[in-house]
Structure 1
Amino acid sequence: MSVLKSNKARWAMTGVVLVAGVLMWHRAPAEKGAPQAAKPALTVVTATLKSAQWQQTLQANGSIVAWQEAIIGAEITGVRIADVLVSVGDEVMRGQVLARLANDTLQANEAESQAALRESEAVLADASANAARIRKLFESGFVSAQQAGQAVTLENTARAKLDAQRARLKVSAQRLAQQNITAPDAGVISARNATVGAITQPAAELFRLIRQGRLEWHADVTADELGLIKKGMKVELTTAQGKRVQGVVRAVSPAINQQTRYGQVLVNLPADTELVAGMFAKGVFLAGEKTATVLPQSAVMLRDNSAFVFVVGENSHVLAKKIITGRRQDNLIEVVSGLSLDAQVVDTGGAFLVEGDLVRVAGRAQ
């Protein structure tokens, strides 16, 4: 019995060894094979920096104002306003009557001056005739030299009074002519204070006129930007309503405001723009074209307030590079620094990558 049990044990051990050998024989080829290659995390399209001619611009804010305003008042005071012929917004011509003053008092004053003039003429005629008669009597010895001198003095006095009365009549005629308040230039009425029945006062403003209807844009710019703006430069304005207007720089302020540290640029605007004085507008100064190195905006990502791109290395692993960006136009963005011209940048899909990821490049963006 002991011999039989020993034989069974040996056969069992032999079977285990044979099974283990077969398993190891089947497994050996797999272990000898090459290791499997890593799979790309993403298939990407790359882009490189390109040169583009972009318009160099400077942005500013400002207000629409009148080119020049004329303040119109009455040249004579103490006279009632009889009629007002224009209102705010009316276009007027040079010399057009804006308002009329009551002329009854003015006409009476002129008539009085004319009567006084005729009286002075009669007094002078009488004094001249009397002086001529006294001269003849003096030559004949019938009157004294003193009497002759008095006659001449009376004649000269009468002549002086006549001249003074002529001047008064001229003043009366001018006052009568000033009964009409007229426009000193063509333009648009921007303010009206004249009221029928009111009495004209010294230095009182009755109307305000935007001369020739011309408006301009006063832009506030920093000291650094002021040096870049030149007379004659083109400007594009955008109003709060979205209306676009083209203008031209008329003048550049030669000084900076000490409180605000801003300078002003005056921009001529074309007529018939439907703009209104006092409006706020944003503007862009077109400073000429300048070469820019650009990338598609889809290739640039923002993280922690910084811009960066993923650059594909020689081994197809991506590396994050921080860049400094500038202007944007359409779907492109300017790269100021931080990237070489030949760098292959991931165009799309960068948001799904992390530094060191393996990618497969499918092509280049056009």
Structure 2
Amino acid sequence: MAKSKWLIAVFLLLAVILAGWGITARVQKKHALGQLANDATIPVVSFVTAKKEPQSEEVILPGSVAPAFNATIYARTNGYLKKWYVDIGDHVSKGQVLAEIDSPEIDQQLLQAKADLMAAEANNKIAQTLAHRTRALLPSSAVSQQSSDQAASDANARASTVASNQANVQRLEQLVSFEEIRAPYDGIVTTRNTDIGHLINSGSNNGPELFQIADISWLRIYVQVPQSYAASITPKVVAELHFPEYPGRAFVAHLVNTAHALQPENRTLLVQLRIDNQKGELFPGGYTEVHFKIPPVNPGISIPASALLFRAEGLQVATLTPDRHVKLHDITQGRDFGTDVEILKGLEPNEPVILNPPAALVDGQKVRVSSQNSHKRS
């Protein structure tokens, strides 16, 4: 009997132990589930460190390369091309003959004009002699006053005819001189659009260009600078040029001037740079990358654009406190660089800024930091 009571007591004790263990396990599981549910409500965030903008920033813009001077050569007289002396790629000097035009009509007109001038000078000589003689005979009444006046008038008319013929000869001589096409300055021939025997018409509206001469001893670089950087383009700005044909090399260019006005169609400032090209390494008409090193007007803080919070209160940024709570900042935005933005007020350097903050994030809210903080910047 005593043994049976003892066995019953042991079974009861085991039942109590098992029941207690089960209750404890269920309580722990419920607590764990509650903790997991609470943790699930805490947002997981990643962050970056707000950086102070450098003392100078590099702005890269496309540029167009043009020669120092470029002249399109047209004929100034009509005729046929007799001969050309230079071709594309040839270096020429100022005044050098590029080609000759055969203009027989102009040559004949000049010969006729010279003959007319000789006849006018002979007639003028006779008229002047007659006028002088009649004036000498007038005191002795050998001739009448009317005859003297008539002789003087005829002499003046003959002198005017001489002057007119002289001007015509000079005009035709000038036209004949245009039969030789000369270089306007030292340079290189970049285009030849004519050949021997071609019919030549004078003027830019009556025929194609004959030659193009470019001075490439130095080059002009034209750049369109966006409005946000326009005020920073001063004579102290350093510009480096990078050409695709010279990878790894940088060429220093100097500011010549700016348009001092924005172009309304694209809100950009036209900037002209100058670069030496005495060695002839660079070619006009090409493309270059222009690297400007510009000091910021109002240095601010740089953060990713994905960190901005757009709310009714205004633009805000969320940062992390050391105990992993959220702190909201009212900010003043500066320039927008696309992926990054400039913050002028409301944020200090090196603050941990939350990326892609949830729209429901509030000040003081506890958050968890992602273990895979892949966006973190040192």
Q: State the SS of the aligned residue for 2:282.
A: coil
Deviation at 1:224, TM superposition (A): 1.8
1:229 aligns to what? 233
- Is the CA contact 1:238–1:281 (under 8 Å) kept in the aligned structure 2? yes
Q: Does 1:253 align with 2:259?
A: yes
1:78 aligns to what? 78
- Is the CA contact 1:294–1:335 (under 8 Å) kept in the aligned structure 2? yes
- Is the CA contact 2:257–2:271 (under 8 Å) kept in the aligned structure 1? yes
Q: Does 1:263 align with 2:264?
A: no
User: Per-residue displacement from partner, 1:218-258 (whole Å, max 9, x unpaired)?
Assistant: 21222121111112421123344564432122212221222
1:281 aligns to what? 288
Aligned residues: 313
Which whole-Å CA distance do the structure 1 matches of 2:348 and 2:132 have between them? Answer: 112
2:175 aligns to what? 175
Q: Give the alignment of 1:293-308 within 5 angstroms.
A: none
- Is the CA contact 2:232–2:295 (under 8 Å) kept in the aligned structure 1? no
| Amino acid in the other structure paired with 2:270 | Q
- Is the CA contact 1:292–1:334 (under 8 Å) kept in the aligned structure 2? no
| Amino acid in the other structure paired with 1:63 | S
Which whole-Å CA distance do the structure 2 matches of 1:126 and 1:335 have between them? Answer: 92
Q: State the SS of the aligned residue for 1:86.
A: coil
Shift in CA distance, 312/358, structure 1 to aligned 2, threshold 3 Å: farther
Deviation at 1:67, TM superposition (A): 4.1
Deviation at 1:108, TM superposition (A): 3.4
1:29 aligns to what? none
Q: Give the alignment of 1:38-57 within 5 angstroms.
A: 55-57=56-58
- Unmatched 5+ stretches in structure 2: 13-47, 309-316, 354-366, 372-377
2:242 aligns to what? 238
User: What is the TM-score normalised by the length of structure 2?
Assistant: 0.61
Shift in CA distance, 49/138, structure 1 to aligned 2, threshold 3 Å: closer
Which whole-Å CA distance do the structure 2 matches of 1:312 and 1:232 have between them? Answer: 42
User: Per-residue displacement from partner, 1:180-221 (whole Å, max 9, x unpaired)?
Assistant: 221222233344444432222233443333345532222122
Shift in CA distance, 89/312, structure 1 to aligned 2, threshold 3 Å: farther
2:358 aligns to what? none
Q: Give the alignment of 1:117-266 within 5 angstroms.
A: 117-135=117-135, 138-196=138-196, 197-204=198-205, 205-241=209-245, 243=247, 244-266=250-272
- Is the CA contact 2:117–2:162 (under 8 Å) kept in the aligned structure 1? yes
Which whole-Å CA distance do the structure 1 matches of 2:351 and 2:148 have between them? Answer: 118
- Is the CA contact 1:67–1:216 (under 8 Å) kept in the aligned structure 2? yes
2:60 aligns to what? 59
User: Per-residue displacement from partner, 1:259-282 (whole Å, max 9, x unpaired)?
Assistant: 2222212121221342331x3333
2:25 aligns to what? none
| Amino acid in the other structure paired with 1:284 | H
Which whole-Å CA distance do the structure 1 matches of 2:203 and 2:192 have between them? Answer: 17
Shift in CA distance, 133/216, structure 1 to aligned 2, threshold 3 Å: closer
User: Per-residue displacement from partner, 1:311-364 (whole Å, max 9, x unpaired)?
Assistant: 8968xxx8899999x99xxxxx9997999778899xxxxxxxxx75899xxxxx
- Is the CA contact 1:188–1:213 (under 8 Å) kept in the aligned structure 2? no
Which whole-Å CA distance do the structure 2 matches of 1:303 and 1:137 have between them? Answer: 112
| Amino acid in the other structure paired with 1:180 | E
- Unmatched 5+ stretches in structure 1: 1-5, 18-46, 328-332, 346-354, 360-365
User: Considering only aligned residues, what root-mean-square deviation do their CA atoms show, in Å?
Assistant: 5.0
Q: State the SS of the aligned residue for 1:74.
A: coil
User: What is the TM-score normalised by the length of structure 1?
Assistant: 0.62
The share of aligned pairs that are identical, in percent, is 20
Which whole-Å CA distance do the structure 1 matches of 2:215 and 2:149 have between them? Answer: 61
- Is the CA contact 1:231–1:252 (under 8 Å) kept in the aligned structure 2? no
Which whole-Å CA distance do the structure 1 matches of 2:182 and 2:328 have between them? Answer: 68
